[in-house]
Amino acid sequence: MRLVFILGDQLTRGISSLDGIDPARDVVLMVEVAAEATYVRHHKQKLVLILSAMRHFAEELRAEGIRVDYVRLDAPENRQDFCAELARAVARHLPEAVVVTHPGEWRVLQLMQGWSEALGLPVEIRDDDRFLCQPAEFARLTTAGKTGRMEYFYREMRRRTGLLMEGAKPVGGKWNYDAENRKALPRGHRAPKRKRFAPDAVTAEVMTLVETRFADHFGTLDQFGWPVTRTEALLALDDFLRVALPSFGDWQDAMQAGEDFLYHSLIAPALNIGLLTALEVAAAAEREYLEGRAPLNAVEGFIRQVIGWREFVRGIYWTEMPGYAQTNALNATRPLPSFYWTGDTRMRCIAEVVRGTRENAYAHHIQRLMVTGNFALLAGIAPAEIEAWYLAVYADAFEWVELPNVHGMVAHADGGRLGSKPYAAAAAYIGRMSDYCRGCGYDAKARTGRNACPMNFLYWNFLITHQARFGKNPRMALPYKALAAMGKGERAAITAEAEAFLAKMKTPEAEPPAQISMPW
């Protein structure tokens, strides 16, 4: 008899740990544990999503005749972490072996690698074959020089999957249509309403549990609408393909106050917990192009995110951890300001992204990168502080995907492994791509002075501070030319205003990190 241990982001019927399961003898173990809810204090919607999806998935397996030993969070005997709950389950079932699928986080892999010795049993850790590129393959591609930049890796994934390919050539003659995908929205534009899912009885019960047990976690549940079953996730995907994909490319980088979803797919939470798979999502988008319902710039742009960026960051995570998380190339050490939690800032862009994040456990890529990410980079926030925030507040956040995006793309803490230049921008970028600056208390055009937008003096201060590192980077030649043309007085004013602003920034009381107990 084998015990198949399925984690909360492994809710896929085809997950490798279920391969060859014998319903007559084997048992599936699923456990709800507080340690996973609190190692960072996840957004309430993320907790509801995962616990409700786990309960639904367990019922689906049972309906197939598979025996599931499911430990609820509020079970009195629950010892509230993976190791202790696995040990208890082994004592209950006395299996010959434990089978698991490779987890999504380094910290959990460390736990798993201790299980065999601790339990005195074989523990088989199977590859997570929901991904197109396994870590060993990514390492081989790295040796072959194909992971230096995402674009080369992406082309390799296109060749391998045959998506948007005509023989050996990319459909349309170009690999990448990104240059067409940077349009700003017309003033007052309203995006279509998106399919959201009203909580059923299972979700409603979990909501009560989360509101009671994790009352002090960030976020509200009022607008919870995430799919919690595969059936709902497929409906959400279908909704995206019909109402949003055709415009996904054009307005991929745009932002607008009050429009929290625009033309994005909203599928990352479902994808990352296993309700959908990357290949089926990419193939569904390709079909929209082939059957003439969506343009190539939109479909290629979307597929690049799913089989390019998503697989690329995972490859970096698993081939470069644990050292990756320790780097801090820009020596950023400042604590995260309180307004990342409260939204209480005069910078309308940040207030608006924090509001959407609190209400939806969601922000789209450019909001994450060029608003909250950009500010954190310019203000020199310590990478670990920014990472913990992103890991906590987004429903789709798991370390394999969150860390490279934050540590590499946002903080440039990896010294350029993920991107050849930092994604730093002044207010002009935000003003061009959104309506946030209209009606903002700050002046987006002023670099210095009483009402200057902090994104401006912090941006120029960032260039001054890191001139030795970036001054000769050809991709940063333009801003450094502008900096060189500035008078000494203006440079001094920039530095002084940046220092004064940063010194005044309020930070929350430090919290001790959650301890994950090991029973052996």
Q: Which does 373 bind (CB under 5 to 8 A by kind): ligand FAD, ligand DLZ, none?
A: ligand FAD
Instruction: Respond yes or no on whether the N-terminal peptide bond of residue 322 is cis (omega within 30° of 0).
Output: yes
DSSP code string of 86-131: HHHHHHHH--SEEEEE--SSHHHHHHHHHHHHHHTS-EEEE--TTS
Dihedral-angle region of residue 517 (phi above 0 means left; psi in -120 to 50 means alpha; beta otherwise): beta
Residue 255 touches ligand FAD, criterion: CB under 6 A: no
Regarding 275 and contact with ligand FAD (CB under 6 A), the answer is no
Angle at 260 between CA 428 and CA 256, to 5 degrees: 30
Q: Which of the ranges 35-43, 127-135, 244-252, 289-297 carries the binding residues for ligand DLZ, by CB under 6 A?
A: 35-43
When the beta carbons of 409 and 463 are compared against ligand FAD, the nearer one is: 409
- Which of ligand FAD, ligand DLZ, none does residue 50 bind (CB under 5 to 8 Å by kind)? ligand DLZ
Using DSSP's 3-state secondary structure scheme, residue 143 falls into helix
**φ, ψ (nearest 5 deg) of residue 300:** -65, -45
CA angle 145, 320, 47 (to 5 degrees): 125
Residue 394, interface with ligand FAD (CB under 6 A)?
Answer: yes
3-state helix, strand, coil in the chain (%, to 5): 50, 5, 40
36 contacts ligand DLZ (rule: CB under 6 A): yes
Q: If DSSP codes are grouped into helix, strand and coil, which group holds residue 157?
A: helix
Candidates 398, 429, 436, 470: give the one binding ligand DLZ (CB under 6 A). 398
Which of ligand DLZ, ligand FAD, none interacts with 105 (beta carbon under 5 to 8 A by kind)? ligand DLZ
**Does the footprint of ligand FAD cover residue 396 (CB under 6 A)?**
yes
State the binding partner of 37 from ligand FAD, ligand DLZ, none, CB within 5 to 8 A by kind: ligand DLZ
Residue window 328-367: x/- pattern of binding to ligand FAD, with contact defined by CB under 6 A: ------------------------------------xx--
Q: Which stretch binds ligand DLZ (CB under 6 A): 25-33, 91-99, 277-285, 429-437?
A: 25-33
Residue 135 near residue 315, CB atoms below 8 Å: yes
Instruction: With beta carbons less than 8 A apart as the criterion, state whether 445 and 455 touch.
Output: no
Q: What angle do CA 321, 326, 328 make, to 5 degrees?
A: 130
Assess 105 for contact with ligand DLZ (CB under 6 A). yes
Interaction of residue 31 with ligand DLZ, rule CB under 6 A: yes
Task: List interacting residues with ligand FAD (CB under 6 A).
Answer: 264-268, 271-272, 302, 305-306, 309-310, 313, 364-365, 368-369, 373, 390, 394, 396-397, 401-402, 405-406, 409-410
Task: List interacting residues with ligand DLZ (CB under 6 A).
Answer: 7-9, 31-33, 36-37, 42, 47, 50, 103-105, 108, 398
